[in-house]
Chains A and B, each alone.
Chain A
Amino acid sequence: MGAGHAHPLHLDHDSRVHRLPAEVKIVATLLFTIVVVITPREKFVAFAGYLLLLVGVLVVAKVPPGWLAKRATIELPFVLLAIALPFAGHGERVHWLGMSLSVDGLHGAWNIFAKGTLGVLASLLLAATTTARDLLLGLDRLRCPQVFTQIATFMLRYLDILADDARRMRVARLSRGYDPRFLWQVKAFAVGVGALFIRSYERGERVYLAMVARGYSGRLPRPEGTGATTADWVRSATLPIAAGVIALVAVLA
Chain B
Amino acid sequence: MTASLTIEDLHFAYPDGREVLHGVDLTVGEGERVALLGPNGAGKTTLVLHINGILHAGSGSGAGTVDVAGLTVNPADRAGIAEIRRRVGIVFQDPDDQLFMPTVAEDVGFGPANLGLKGEELKQRVDEALAAVGMTEHRDQVPHHLSFGQRRRVAVATVLAMRPEILVLDEPSSNLDPASRRELADILRALPVTVLMVTHDLPYALELCPRSVILDGGRIAADGKTADLLGDAHLMRGHRLELPFGFDPAFAAARLPST
Chain A interface (Cβ < 8 Å from any Cβ of B): 2-3, 5-6, 133, 136, 153-154, 156-158, 160-161, 203, 206-207, 209-217, 220-221, 223-224
Does residue B6 face the partner (Cβ distance < 8 Å to A)? no
Residues of chain B in range 203-217 having any CB-CB distance to chain A below 8 Å: none
Q: Confirm or deny: B103 has a beta carbon within 8 angstroms of a beta carbon on chain A.
A: yes
Q: Tell me which residues across on chain A come within 8 A of B159, comparing CB atoms.
A: 214
> Do A133 and B162 have beta carbons less than 8 Å apart?
no
- CB-contact partner of A214 in B96, B114, B143, under 8 A: B114
CB <8 Å contact, A213 and B90: yes
In the complex, are the beta carbons of B114 and A3 less than 8 A apart? no
Contact A214 B142, CB 8 Å, known A157-B102, A221-B109: no
The one of A3, A6, A214 that contacts B158, using a Cβ cutoff of 8 Å: A214
Q: How many A-B residue pairs have CB under 8 A?
A: 87
Contact A217 B143, beta carbon cutoff 8 Å = no
Q: How far is the CB of B217 from chain A (nearest CB, A)?
A: 25
Interface size class of B (residues with CB under 8 A): 35 or more
Find A2's partner among B85, B89, B102 (CB 8 Å cutoff): B102
Q: Once bound together, how far apart are the Cα atoms of A35 and B132, in whole Å? A: 53
List of 4 A-B pairs having minimum Cβ-Cβ separation, nearest first: A221-B113, A215-B114, A3-B140, A214-B111
Are A5 and B97 within 8 A (Cβ)?
no
Choose among A154, A212, A215 the residue that contacts B100 (Cβ–Cβ < 8 A): A154
Output the least CB separation between B71 and chain A (Å): 15
Within 8 Å CB of B252, what residues of A? Answer: none
> Known: A209-B54, A212-B54. Contact between A153 and B111, CB under 8 A?
no
Q: Shortest Cβ distance from B121 into chain A, in angstroms?
A: 11
| B180 is an interface residue with CB less than 8 A from chain A | no
B140 CB, min distance to chain A CBs, angstroms: 4
Q: Which of B88, B100, B106, B143 contacts A223 (CB 8 A)?
A: B106
Give per-residue flags for B86-108: 1 if the beta carbon is below 8 A from chain A beta carbons, else 0.
Answer: 10111010101111111101100
Instruction: Name which of B99, B101, B162 has the most chain A CB atoms within 10 A of its CB.
Output: B101
The answer to whether A153 and B102 touch (CB under 8 A), given A210-B97, A212-B54, A213-B90, is yes
Q: A153-B102, A215-B111 are known contacts. Are A160 and B144 too (CB-CB below 8 A)?
A: yes
User: Quick one: which of B103, B115, B144, B158 contacts A161, CB cutoff 8 A?
Assistant: B144
Of A6, A133, A154, the residue contacting B103 (CB under 8 A) is A133
Of B94, B106, B115, B119, which one neighbours A215 at CB under 8 angstroms? B115
A79 to chain B, nearest CB (A): 34
B111-134 CB mask vs A (1 if < 8 Å, else 0) is 101110011001000000000000
Is there contact, CB below 8 Å, between B85 and A215? yes
Complexed CA–CA distance, A136 and B101 (Å): 12
- Closest CB in chain B relative to A32 CB, distance in Å: 27
The answer to whether B144 touches A215 (Cβ under 8 A) is no
How many whole Å from B233's CB to the nearest CB in chain A? 36
CB pair B54–A215 under 8 Å, yes or no, is: no
Chain A residues lying within 8 Å of B12, measured Cβ to Cβ, are: none
The residues of A that contact B115 with a CB separation of less than 8 Å are 215
Complex Cα spacing A249 to B102, Å: 45
Query: Is there a chain A Cβ closer than 8 Å to B235's Cβ?
Result: no
Interface status of B82 (Cβ within 8 A of chain A): yes
**Known contacts A216-B114, A221-B114, A2 near B100 by CB under 8 Å:** no
State whether A215 touches B82 (Cβ < 8 A).
yes
Central interface residue in B82, B103, B142, by most chain A CB within 10 Å: B142
| Sample of 16 more A-B contacts, CB < 8 Å, known A153-B101, A214-B159, A221-B114 | A2-B105, A2-B106, A2-B140, A156-B102, A158-B100, A160-B144, A207-B100, A210-B97, A211-B110, A213-B54, A213-B92, A214-B89, A215-B86, A217-B114, A221-B113, A224-B122
Q: Nearest B residue to A1 by beta-carbon distance?
A: B140
B92 to A157, Cβ gap below 8 A? no
Q: Smallest Cβ distance from A155 to chain B, in angstroms?
A: 10
State the Cβ distance, A113 to closest chain B Cβ, in Å.
36
User: Chain A residues with Cβ under 8 A from B110's Cβ?
Assistant: 211, 214, 216, 220-221
